A and B are shown apart, each in its own frame.
Chain A
Amino acid sequence: MQVFRAYFKVMRASAGGIAIYLVVFLGLSVMFSSAGSPRTMGDFTQTKTPIAVINRDKDAPLAQGLASYLAETNNAIPYPDDAEKLQDALFFRNVEYIAIIPDGFSADFMAGRRCAVQKVIVPDSVSSRYVDMRIDKYLNTARLRLQYGGEESQARLAAAARADLEFETPVAIESASAFGSSTQGFVYYYRYFAFAVLAMIMMGVSSIMMAFNKPDLYRRNLCAPIPARSMSLQLAAGHGVFALGCWALLVSASSALYGKSLLSSGLMWLYCLNSLAFTMVSTSIGFLVGSSVRSHGAQAGAVNVIANGMSFLCGVFVPQSIMSKPVLAFARFLPAYWYVRANDAISALSRLTASTLRPIYGHILIQLLFAIAIFATALLLVKERQAA
């Protein structure tokens, strides 16, 4: 096991570079996932605007009904009918909307005369539109009742209007995953995982390959009384342990960062399975790069170009949903595309059944086929070089 032992001693030289990728990845994924995951996408809550309602038509039931409706549907803050205090409230943004029901408003409304609720708002305030809509909604409902409902008294008209406005349309967000995972931080984490694991493993595996494939050292090793097959197997075991170590490290980091939400999602095993398949792909790419390049400059270039290029083209950094069709058509020939597809499919799962899991398994299988194809290509390259 001399080669296997030497593997990890040689790896020490690359540990710094690998650690940089790890730290950058963890930092970025935490930053992006916390910044990019809106927490209220899974349910619906009406917006409540801070308002002040000044009712100068005090005893009129219709005005009282409107005032209480506005108070219920918004965040009403009590203010006296004092111009200076109301201006201060608006200036300091304690309220964004001041609704003033003028004296005689209800009588004018009942008589069908022109009347309007006065308003003072924060300039360019979007939320004031919602308050406008609610005032219109109340008055339109009351007007319909007045015209077609036969209500003659203000009290009955106000009560009927409020009764009509009690009905609300239930809102449900159908696109959200039943597992509540589509907007969780770990979804972003496992998307960026592709870049981190690809860069780390490529850097590590290719460094080892370059060290053992130096022509003089390779020939020197052939002089030793150890079969070439045994050396290759020991190297392969080293690659396997290193790749699994990287994968385990990143999965453990995801557990540490998103433990409760990740475990409660019930999808962790699928994320692990998908990321493990991509870890194999990364190992085969690292093997290919290590068999092809000769200098550390070329190695660093290859690692950066492949890891960044594949991540950008396949939707690791930018969601596939907003990428152009020609780019996606090209990306289909890259393994990271299928990793992201599987990742997106897992995060969108509404239930775990054979039919919903089948496409995910399909994407994972494609990744494994990529791994085999890349590994076979690298082996051919190695054989040709050895023969030369």
Chain B
Amino acid sequence: MLVRVENLVKRYGNLLALDHFSLEVAEGEILGLLGPNGSGKTTTINCILSLLKYDKGVVEVFGKPMTPDAYDSKRNIGIVMQNVAVFQELRVDENIDYFCGMYVNDPKTRRRLVDEAIEFVGLGEFRKFTPRKLSGGLLRRLNIACGIAHKPRLLILDEPTVAVDPQSRNKILEGIRELNRQGTTVIYTSHYMEEVDHLCTRIVIMDKGRTLATGTKEELKSMINDGETISVELYMLQPDDVSQIRQLPHVARADYAENRLSVHYDGGQHNLLNLLDYLKSRDLLFGRVFSEQPTLNDVFLEITGRQLRD
């Protein structure tokens, strides 16, 4: 295992931020760390990076205990902080060179790595700009370039796409996938379910400092009762028909409103065929039909209790 966190306990006064939290990250995977605000994601990252002292537990990176002076381990870790952490006074290339220089001493190698990082995040035409002149999306890309320039074995990204436009977000996600293809192991925290859904090979859902679920996205989706949702556009559906539809196999819920029938299933197969057969048997004319599979968002909301918290 590249990263091993076992029974981690961290308290902020009376607040229990991490409650015997455990985590393992294998080499080559992209691990998504999902959780509502205040669930303990950033605290976990800070403990892994040894930025925070924890009360109890074990943190190992590259098979060695992680401590503030574990410089051999730190040399192979790239970090992209939640907030953009760059010098406002330095230009784009100077910022990347500064952070790369913390890991790579040889000036020639460093110049090459800086150029590659700039190319990688698409900041070529902004390399002489100071951060003040960059948009939010470009700043995020600079933040990432500073974290990846030294080509780390382990890359930790703490919500790197917050407040980033879709174009920049896609560019960032493509970059992370490319890094992973090149052999970098990634720990990725985010609020955006679709990002984690598309990017991560394994997902950990946490809340209140504890692991709620772990697995691939397919495994997680299979954990919840939600199946597919079928929507049908039709007119003049009688309440009796809605009641009949609710009696069909695996139907969990059926609603009719504004000339649209929504049927939620809790599993089963051939649900669409069964529904359409019923509608034909009742000579009901229908328009467009939609079928949606459960998303990671459904899983997240189901597992974390369907509540929004600050």
Contact check, B79 vs A9: say whether CB atoms are below 8 A apart: no
> Per-position contact with A for B125-156: 1 when CB-CB < 8 Å, else 0?
00000000000000000000010000000000
Knowing A211-B88, A225-B102, A227-B69 are in contact, say whether A219-B75 is a contact too (CB < 8 A): no
- Stretch from B93-101, B238-246, B260-268, B270-278 contacting the other chain: B93-101
Contact check, B74 vs A224: say whether CB atoms are below 8 A apart: yes
How far, in whole Å, are A214 and B90 apart by their CA atoms in the complex? 14
Contact check, A222 vs B68: say whether CB atoms are below 8 A apart: yes
Distance (whole angstroms) from the CB of A225 to the closest CB of chain B: 4
> Per-position contact with B for A200-239: 1 when CB-CB < 8 Å, else 0?
0000000000010010110111111111100000000000
Contact check, B72 vs A216: say whether CB atoms are below 8 A apart: no
Contact check, A211 vs B103: say whether CB atoms are below 8 A apart: no
| CB proximity to A under 8 Å, residues B199-243 | none
Using Cβ atoms and an 8 Å threshold, which residues of chain A touch B83? 216
Contact check, A224 vs B90: say whether CB atoms are below 8 A apart: no
Which residue of B85, B90, B99, B101 contacts A216 across the interface (Cβ within 8 Å)? B85
Contact check, A6 vs B74: say whether CB atoms are below 8 A apart: no
Contact check, B101 vs A225: say whether CB atoms are below 8 A apart: no
Knowing A2-B98, A216-B81, A219-B81 are in contact, say whether A225-B71 is a contact too (CB < 8 A): yes
Interface size class of B (residues with CB under 8 A): 20 to 34
Which residue of A211, A216, A225 contacts B74 across the interface (Cβ within 8 Å)? A225
How far, in whole Å, are A216 and B143 apart by their CA atoms in the complex? 11
Distance (whole angstroms) from the CB of A386 to the closest CB of chain B: 11
Residue B86 at the chain A interface, CB threshold 8 Å: yes
How far, in whole Å, are A243 and B280 apart by their CA atoms in the complex? 88
Knowing A2-B102, A223-B51, A224-B99 are in contact, say whether A217-B68 is a contact too (CB < 8 A): no
Which residue of A12, A216, A220, A227 contacts B71 across the interface (Cβ within 8 Å)? A227
Residue A329 at the chain B interface, CB threshold 8 Å: no
Using Cβ atoms and an 8 Å threshold, which residues of chain B touch A19? none
How far, in whole Å, are A226 and B71 apart by their CA atoms in the complex? 7
Residue A13 at the chain B interface, CB threshold 8 Å: yes
> Per-position contact with B for A1-37: 1 when CB-CB < 8 Å, else 0?
0100110011011000000000000000000000000
Using Cβ atoms and an 8 Å threshold, which residues of chain A touch B192? none
Using Cβ atoms and an 8 Å threshold, which residues of chain B touch A6? 87, 90, 94, 98
Interface size class of A (residues with CB under 8 A): 20 to 34
Distance (whole angstroms) from the CB of B23 to the closest CB of chain A: 18
Contact check, A9 vs B94: say whether CB atoms are below 8 A apart: yes
Distance (whole angstroms) from the CB of B112 to the closest CB of chain A: 17
Using Cβ atoms and an 8 Å threshold, which residues of chain A touch B146? 220
How far, in whole Å, are A214 and B88 apart by their CA atoms in the complex? 11
Using Cβ atoms and an 8 Å threshold, which residues of chain B touch A13? 88-89
Residue B84 at the chain A interface, CB threshold 8 Å: yes
Using Cβ atoms and an 8 Å threshold, which residues of chain B touch A2? 98, 101-102
Distance (whole angstroms) from the CB of A341 to the closest CB of chain B: 38
Contact check, B85 vs A220: say whether CB atoms are below 8 A apart: yes
Contact check, B89 vs A12: say whether CB atoms are below 8 A apart: yes
Which residue of A10, A12, A216, A223 contacts B49 across the interface (Cβ within 8 Å)? A223
Which residue of A220, A221, A224 contacts B103 across the interface (Cβ within 8 Å)? A224
User: Mostly helix, strand, loop or mixed at chain B's interface?
Assistant: loop
Using Cβ atoms and an 8 Å threshold, which residues of chain A touch B89? 9-10, 12-13, 211
Residue B121 at the chain A interface, CB threshold 8 Å: no
Using Cβ atoms and an 8 Å threshold, which residues of chain A touch B85? 214, 216-217, 219-220
Using Cβ atoms and an 8 Å threshold, which residues of chain A touch B75? 225
Contact check, B71 vs A223: say whether CB atoms are below 8 A apart: no
Knowing A216-B84, A217-B85, A227-B69 are in contact, say whether A222-B90 is a contact too (CB < 8 A): no
Using Cβ atoms and an 8 Å threshold, which residues of chain A touch B71? 225-227
Contact check, B74 vs A220: say whether CB atoms are below 8 A apart: no
CB-CB nearest in chain A for B94: A9
CB-CB nearest in chain A for B69: A227
Distance (whole angstroms) from the CB of B81 to the closest CB of chain A: 6
Contact check, A220 vs B79: say whether CB atoms are below 8 A apart: yes
Using Cβ atoms and an 8 Å threshold, which residues of chain B touch A226? 71, 102
Using Cβ atoms and an 8 Å threshold, which residues of chain A touch B176? none
Knowing A2-B102, A216-B85, A217-B85 are in contact, say whether A223-B69 is a contact too (CB < 8 A): no
CB-CB nearest in chain A for B77: A223
Distance (whole angstroms) from the CB of B101 to the closest CB of chain A: 4
Among B71, B72, B74, B87: residue with most chain A CB under 10 A = B87
| CB proximity to A under 8 Å, residues B59-82 | 68-69, 71-72, 74-75, 77, 79, 81
Distance (whole angstroms) from the CB of B65 to the closest CB of chain A: 16
Knowing A2-B98, A2-B102, A225-B103 are in contact, say whether A10-B90 is a contact too (CB < 8 A): yes
How far, in whole Å, are A327 and B88 apart by their CA atoms in the complex? 42
How far, in whole Å, are A99 and B71 apart by their CA atoms in the complex? 97
How far, in whole Å, are A13 and B90 apart by their CA atoms in the complex? 8
Contact check, B102 vs A219: say whether CB atoms are below 8 A apart: no
Which residue of B69, B74, B86 contacts A217 across the interface (Cβ within 8 Å)? B86
CB-CB nearest in chain A for B74: A225
Among B51, B83, B89: residue with most chain A CB under 10 A = B89
Using Cβ atoms and an 8 Å threshold, which residues of chain B touch A228? 68
How far, in whole Å, are A214 and B87 apart by their CA atoms in the complex? 9
> Per-position contact with B for A180-196: 1 when CB-CB < 8 Å, else 0?
00000000000000000
Using Cβ atoms and an 8 Å threshold, which residues of chain B touch A217? 85-87
Contact check, B87 vs A211: say whether CB atoms are below 8 A apart: yes
Contact check, B90 vs A9: say whether CB atoms are below 8 A apart: yes
Using Cβ atoms and an 8 Å threshold, which residues of chain B touch A9? 89-90, 94, 98
| CB proximity to A under 8 Å, residues B169-218 | none
How far, in whole Å, are A353 and B179 apart by their CA atoms in the complex? 73
Distance (whole angstroms) from the CB of B111 to the closest CB of chain A: 14
How far, in whole Å, are A10 and B68 apart by their CA atoms in the complex? 26
How far, in whole Å, are A214 and B83 apart by their CA atoms in the complex? 11
CB-CB nearest in chain A for B52: A219
Q: List 12 A-B contacts (CB under 8 A).
A: A9-B98, A216-B81, A216-B85, A217-B86, A220-B146, A221-B102, A222-B49, A222-B51, A223-B74, A224-B102, A225-B75, A227-B69
8 nearest CB pairs, A to B: A224-B102, A13-B89, A220-B85, A216-B85, A225-B71, A225-B74, A2-B101, A225-B75
Apart from the given pairs A10-B89, A13-B88, 16 other A-B contacts in the complex at a CB distance below 8 Å: A2-B101, A5-B101, A6-B90, A9-B90, A13-B89, A211-B88, A217-B86, A220-B85, A221-B102, A222-B51, A222-B68, A223-B49, A223-B77, A226-B71, A226-B102, A227-B71
